[in-house]
Amino acid sequence: MVGYLLVSLLISVAPNLTWSCSDNLMFGYRLENSTVEQISNIGVHSCIKECRLRQPLCQSINYDSEHFLCEINSREADIEVEGIHQTNSIFANVNGSSRVTLTFLAVL
């Protein structure tokens, strides 16, 4: 006799597998007065990964592409309203889940 069991697993996955940031980068903007940490000599995508590792403290990032400087921000923002224009700056809200639910059918 064959039985079936529906199994759901909640697993943590690598941050770069769950969130695509390329559409959320705002070039030429930065958020002021919300930075809680700075990381030097890092790329923008690594900056976003570092932010994901610091959630819920980190909610957004400023990235200085000229000096390779990542700023971890404690809040999200509507950057076109709240941000300031700055050449060589990139802003991104970093939100979303770092977990995914997998459901599969197991044959017993």
Write the CATH number for 91.
Answer: 3.50.4.10
Q: Is the pLDDT of residue 23 over 70?
A: no
Distance CA 9, CA 98 (A): 14
Q: How far is CA 28 from the centre of its chain?
A: 18
pLDDT in the model for residue 2: 53
Q: What percent of the chain has pLDDT over 70?
A: 67
Question: Residue 53, SS3?
Answer: helix
**Phi, psi (degrees; rounded to nearest 5) at 58:** -85, 125
Of 64, 56, 53, 55, the residue nearest 31 (C-alpha): 64
Structural domain of 58: 4-107
| pLDDT (tens digit per residue) in 56-104 | 999 999 999 999 999 999 999 999 999 999 999 999 999 854 443 333 4
* Among 45, 41, 28, 35, CA closest to 72: 35
Over residues 1-12, the mean pLDDT reads 46
> Over the stretch 34-63, which tens digit does the pLDDT of each residue have?
999 999 999 999 999 999 999 999 999 999
Number of domains in the chain: 1
